[in-house]
Amino acid sequence: MSLFAKDSMEHDHLEQLENQSVYILREAYANFKNLAMLWSIGKDSTVLLWLARKAFFGHVPITLVHIDTNYKIPEMIRYRDQLAMDWHLTMVYGQNKGALERKETFPDGNITRLQCCKNLKTDALKNTLSGEWPRYRLNLQTGKYETDKNKDPYTGVIVGARADEEGSRSKERYFSPRDKNNEWDVGDQPPELWNQFKTDFAPGTHLRIHPLLDWTELNIWEYIQRENIPITDLYFDKGTGKRYRSLGCYPCTTPVDSTSKNVAEIVAELKTGKFANIAERSGRAQDKEDGGGLETLRRDGYM
């Protein structure tokens, strides 16, 4: 431990979080043949991607899957493809083309926010993971997406959910089973002790893997700062006095009032500033539509 004696105590805490997440990622890689990692382009799943590079010594031997609702902020897609090329990622996206064509979306004014989330996120995710809908894979030579030939269902899906995001996520396990319909039985979860995880599962079911379960929003930003992880600049104020605290679809995600222009200022703001006691997802409108909106979505497969 002499190595860390000089380091700050926060560093020590981040060190422990990092070690645990890396361990979980390697367990996932060792136990699942068809493994995918969901990359929302946001800060959490980008930290997760960075942790995968840590776990696998600079390589990312896991397919990255992005669910493109077609309403993502355009900078997000550009940032995604740039990082995928730079880091040689196996990058795949899927989307609910049918709902978009039929205009069954909230921005089209035809359905509620929650129903829109179900169409563009939950259903797209379900069918992309199962391989029933086409997947589009980035060709690292040409920089263009092509229809992916691999249609096998992913049996292990790594997700950047954190327990502190809201109540239902505090109930998750590191390795959390989902049944054939992607459903989560919150009352009957597997035991998890001594870093032994549920890695055996019945055909047709799959596991959600949560390496970031113990991280807080502050930990994420402190780690981005420590590691100097390239992050999309939508999180920073660019002179308008507004920035995004949480990234989603632009019709349902509002920027917050903040003048934080870089990672260090965000860390300071979270620690002592006005966000110290305000929930991160307060800018996400779909959480408020019914009493247990997010939990209802999560039971049905939402991240």
Partner 1 sequence: MEPTRIATPFAPTGVPGSMVDGRIRMNIVIVGHVDHGKSTVVGRLLADTGSLPDGKLESVRAFCERNSRPFEYAFLLDALKDEQAQGITIDTARTFFKSGKRDYIIIDAPGHIEFLKNMVTGAARAEAAVLVIDAKEGIRENSKRHGYLLSMLGIKQIAVAVNKMDLVGYSREAFEDIRDEYVAFLARIGATPRFFLPISAFNGEGLIHASDKMPWYKGPNLLSAMDNFEKEPPKANQPFRMPVQDIYKFTSLGDDRRIVSGRVESGSIQAGDPVVFLPSGKKSRIASIEAFHAVAREEIGADISIGFTLAEQIYVGRGELMVKAAEVQAEVSRRLRINLFWMGKKPFQPGKTYHLKLGTAKVPCRLEKINYLIDASETGGQTKSAVERHDVADCIIELSKPLAFDPIARLEATGRFVIVDQYEIAGGGIVREALPEDAQAIGSAKPSLLSRSAVSAEARAELMGQKPALVILSGGPGRDPKVAAKALEARLIGLGRHAFYLGLEDAQEADSHQSSESGDAKIVSGWEAEIPAAQLGQAASLLLDAGLLVVAAAKGLDSEDIKTLENLVEPHAVLQLEAPADAEEATGTTAGLVEEALAKLRASGAIGGI
Residues in binding contact with partner 1, number by CB under 8 A? 70
| Residues 197-226, interacting with partner 1 (CB under 8 A) | 198-203, 213-214, 216
Nearest distance from residue 100's CB to partner 1, in Å? 27
67 or 207: whose CB is closer to partner 1?
A: 207
Which of 148, 126, 122 is CA-nearest to residue 135? 148
Distance CA 284, CA 291 (A): 14
Which of 174, 176, 184, 164 is CA-nearest to residue 281? 164
Distance CA 25, CA 80 (A): 21
Q: What is the DSSP letter of 174?
A: S
98 or 257: whose CB is closer to partner 1?
A: 257
Name the token pair of 131. Answer: 């391989």
Per the CB < 8 A criterion, the answer to whether 212 and 162 are in contact is: yes
- Out of 160, 248, 283, 293, which residue is the one contacting partner 1 (CB under 8 A)? 283
Q: Is 155 in the site for partner 1 (CB under 8 A)?
A: yes
Q: Is 5 in the site for partner 1 (CB under 8 A)?
A: no
| Residues 30-49, interacting with partner 1 (CB under 8 A) | 30-34
Please compute, for residue 173, the number of CA atoms within 13 A of its CA located in the half-sphere on the CB side: 22
Nearest distance from residue 76's CB to partner 1, in Å? 21
- Out of 233, 279, 289, 300, which residue is the one contacting partner 1 (CB under 8 A)? 279
Pairing of strands 136-138, 156-158: unpaired
Which of 106, 149, 96 is CA-nearest to residue 126? 96
Q: Is 3 in the site for partner 1 (CB under 8 A)?
A: yes
123 or 269: whose CB is closer to partner 1?
A: 269
Q: Is 58 in the site for partner 1 (CB under 8 A)?
A: yes
Q: Is 289 in the site for partner 1 (CB under 8 A)?
A: no
